[in-house]
Amino acid sequence: MKPSKFNYFAPTNVAEALDLLRDHGPDVKILAGGQSLVPVLNFRLNRPAAIVDLNRITELSYIRDEESHIAIGALTRQRRIENSDVVARRSPLLVEATKFIGHLPIRSRATIGGSLANADPAAEDPAVATALDSTMVLQSHRGERRVEAGDFFLGMLETAVGEDELLTGVEVPAMPPGSGWSFQEISRRHGDFALAGVAAQITLDGDRVTDARLAACGVGPGPIRLVGTEEIIEKQGISKQAIDQAAGMAASEVAPESDLHATADYRRKLLGVMTGRAVTQAVGRARAGWP
């Protein structure tokens, strides 16, 4: 099938894009990498009156080291993130998660902003953003505002981006010294959406956990911060018994639905196993002295 008829616009700067959003309101769709939008258009599951293509807005493609965080433009391709020395050094969790996204042709076209704005519950980028308390940068004619991940993802394919707003970037906190990371995911085939996945970053001071950050994907209507699991790791440490208890807690913190790919119980079990693996690997990397 082919998309229904729509008006097409290709602005060359953010100001032009915001004008188009204002003029066309809720009947406009934003095109970035197109890996989610184009199939939806082709099957006519969405019939927008207008498409605003951001791909000529070069100012939205960048990776900058800002000391406390990495600033990444919304139009930055996932393949560029995967190969970035800056991201690998400052937020290796993001690099590792990116490698699970689809296949090489998809990562070469898809953008981090598109993934975050689409908010697919099985997507990797939202889980990492949630685990690390990343900040989304939104722009409109009313100005710029920043929204933390915990307030950004509202539900199934739903975010805090307003009708007149554009997601222009994301600020990812730099990994503290003494930290380790891990991203674990299980899918039916390589490149498929996750049946269950978990992003983990653990910070140690000797054998004491000073910070634990974990978030899950594929087991709910959006990315889920595993708060109870984090508390167990921070309070009880990193013994095998504590990690096993944390894995059990992770499985109890989510309420996935059954579908044709997996039952809810199976997804919960997978998440528990993935959480145990992620925490173990993150602790091992922290102990190995990764910067």
Find out whether 171 and 142 touch, Cβ atoms under 8 Å: no
What pLDDT is stored for residue 190 in this prediction?
84
Going by the DSSP 8-state scheme, the letter that residue 25 receives in this structure is G
Q: Categorize the per-residue pLDDT at 1 as very low, low, confident or very high, splitting at 50, 70 and 90.
A: low
**91-120, pLDDT tens digit by residue?**
999 999 999 999 999 999 999 999 999 999
What pLDDT is stored for residue 259 in this prediction?
92
Look up residue 129 and give its amino acid.
Answer: A
CATH code 3.30.390.50 region(s) in the chain: 179-287
Going by the DSSP 8-state scheme, the letter that residue 6 receives in this structure is -
- Residue 149, pLDDT > 90, answer yes
- Residue 134, pLDDT > 60, answer yes
Q: What is the dihedral of CA 268, 274, 277, 279, to 10 degrees?
A: -80
Going by the DSSP 8-state scheme, the letter that residue 74 receives in this structure is T
Burial classification of residue 43, based on how many CB atoms lie within 10 Å of its CB (0-12 exposed, 13-18 middle, 19 or more buried)? exposed
DSSP secondary structure of 129-147: HHHTT-EEEEEETTEEEEE
DSSP secondary structure of 43-69: TTS---SEEEE-TT-GGG--EEE-SSE
The string over 223-261, giving b where at least 16 C-beta atoms fall within 10 Å of a residue's C-beta and e elsewhere, is bbbbeebbebbbeeebeeebbebbbebbbebbebeeeee
Distance, in Å, from the CA atom of 156 to the CA atom of 269, rounded to the nearest integer, reads 22
What pLDDT is stored for residue 290 in this prediction?
65
Query: What mean pLDDT do residues 60-73 have?
Result: 97
Find out whether 11 and 31 touch, Cβ atoms under 8 Å: no
Distance, in Å, from the CA atom of 181 to the CA atom of 239, rounded to the nearest integer, reads 17
Q: Assign domain 179-287 one CATH number from 3.40.47.10, 3.30.390.50, 3.40.50.450, 3.30.70.20.
A: 3.30.390.50
- Residue 269, pLDDT > 80, answer yes
Distance, in Å, from the CA atom of 226 to the CA atom of 130, rounded to the nearest integer, reads 10
Going by the DSSP 8-state scheme, the letter that residue 188 receives in this structure is S
What pLDDT is stored for residue 4 in this prediction?
87
**Class at the top of the CATH hierarchy for domain 58-173:** alpha beta
What pLDDT is stored for residue 2 in this prediction?
83
What pLDDT is stored for residue 54 in this prediction?
97
Q: Categorize the per-residue pLDDT at 25 as very low, low, confident or very high, splitting at 50, 70 and 90.
A: confident
- Residue 291, pLDDT > 80, answer no
Find out whether 262 and 219 touch, Cβ atoms under 8 Å: no
Tokens describing residue 155: 């539900």
Pairing of strands 166-173, 135-140: antiparallel
Find out whether 76 and 82 touch, Cβ atoms under 8 Å: no
CA Rg value for the chain: 19
What pLDDT is stored for residue 42 in this prediction?
84
CATH code 3.30.43.10 region(s) in the chain: 7-53
Tokens 């739903």, residue located? 158
**Class at the top of the CATH hierarchy for domain 7-53:** alpha beta
What's the mean pLDDT when you consider all of the chain?
Answer: 95
What pLDDT is stored for residue 192 in this prediction?
85
**45-55, pLDDT tens digit by residue?**
889 999 999 99
Stronger pLDDT, 67 or 191, i.e. the higher one: 67
For the chain, the distance separating the N- and C-terminal CA atoms, rounded to the nearest angstrom, is 50
Q: Which residues pair with 85 in a beta bridge?
A: none
